[in-house]
Amino acid sequence: MKPRIAFYAPLKSPNHPIASGDREIARNLLKALDLAGFDAFLASEVISYQKRPSRELFLQRKEDCEREAERLLVHWRADPASAPHLWMTYHPYCKSPDWIGPAVCAALGIPYVTIEACRTRQNTDADWADGRAQVQAEVRGAAANFCLKPSDRAYLESFLPDTDRIVPLLPFIDLAELEATGTTIEPSFASPHPLILSVGMMRPGAKIDSYRLLAEALEGLDTPEWNLAIVGDGPGRAEVESMFGFAGERVRFTGALPREEVIAWMLAADVFAWPGVREAIGIVYLEAQAVGLPVAAFATAGVPIVVADGESGLLAPEFDMTGFREGLRRLLGSQALRKIMGAAGRARGQRYHGISAAAETLKTTLAPLVAGTAARRPGATQ
């Protein structure tokens, strides 16, 4: 019988209807855990996330989560055979602490593990002090803390005395799933110029900022020989469309699309361009490179973790519009460069960012942790 792992995402459920990097990472983690030989299941869809500081909402979320923890414990006390051997929480941070997992683990006597525990840089330190304190307590009590990027590791090292419990895990995707979509797109533009693809939600903040920078870069290009497809939707769509008014019939807005159609657009495109303002990891870059698309972006936040500058893409220093525009110009002007970088991106994805490598890392770390409980189904303490 496979060891059971209770998986929880306090920020956003992997079943959330709106596509996002967080949702895809959560889904891929569940797949990787299964591939690693575990019986991973979604323990709860109760979230703790709050967009803005609010003491009242914080306390309400905490109460909701405490009630959910008790509900789960009642269930597992009644049916010990279904109880997990380990609890894993994905992306606990100041805005979405985990009150469920630690309570369940304490009651069942099972290991607690985090993935991508981090902090927000928004607002002031005081605004998120309570959530940050909760997450730091979770991390200190965890048997292992997986980190997807160096900035998260640096944060954990700032308060975690035992750094042996910090485990690096490279961002990853299911490469086989991309290859099996079977969906094709035949873009029809007035002129057969290289096709640039951008994918991003249209919401205020970093996403709108990225669209604005992309529009500025394209408008300043010294060549009109390009077409652009933009995949995404949201409350800022009208604003985004107005940014690209200069492009006329060279731009097409597809709206939000199912994942298989997004991949089909990637397969039809020549360049993937997305500035990546405050992009924590950028799973979309991995997907683009996996199908052979070279990338133009800023070397900001988590982008350099998944895009190798000069190898699988061209990265400009953050907000360096001259450099970003030059990267676009070079990729648009050379089919040979696009082919070389596209092949390099595909090879890097297969070597470093595939789900098999992630599954092996998870198995190596988690198997010893569940060894003490896998032979029995733990019951709750009274």
- Dump pLDDT digits (tens) for 55-98: 999 999 999 999 999 999 999 999 999 999 999 999 999 999 99
Q: Taking 70 as the threshold, does the pLDDT of residue 254 lie above it?
A: yes
Residues 82 and 206 in one domain: no
pLDDT value at residue 120 = 72
For residues 320 and 365, state if they share a domain.
no
Q: Cα-flanking dihedrals φ and ψ of residue 89, to 5°? A: -115, 125
What mean pLDDT comes out for the span 211-215?
98
Model pLDDT, residue 190: 82
pLDDT for 327-377, tens place per residue?
Answer: 999 999 999 999 999 999 999 999 999 999 999 999 999 999 998 775 555
- The count of structural domains within the chain is 2
Q: Is residue 143, in this structure, part of any structural domain at all?
A: yes
Maximum Cα interatomic distance, the chain, rounded to a whole number of Å: 72
Digit-coded pLDDT (tens) for 294-331: 999 999 988 999 999 999 999 999 999 999 999 999 99
Q: Name the more confident of 378 and 278.
A: 278
In a domain, 378, yes or no: no
What is the average per-residue pLDDT within 250-274?
Answer: 94
Q: Are residues 55 and 80 in the same domain?
A: yes
**Which domain, by its residues, includes 142?**
4-172+355-370
pTM: 0.85
Mean pLDDT of the chain: 92
Report pLDDT for 379: 42
- Enumerate the β-bridge partners of residue 296: 273, 314
Residue 154: how many other CB atoms lie within 10 Å: 10
The length of the chain is 382
Tell me the CATH number at 263.
3.40.50.2000
Q: Does 79 lie in the same domain as 183?
A: no
For β-strands 4-8 and 39-42, DSSP reports them as parallel
pLDDT tier at 243, thresholds 50, 70, 90: very high
pLDDT at 173: 92
88: enclosing H helix or E strand:
strand 86-90
Predicted pLDDT at 378: 45
Q: Which residues contact 125 (CB under 8 A, 6 or more apart)?
A: 132
What token pair was written down for 240? 């985004």
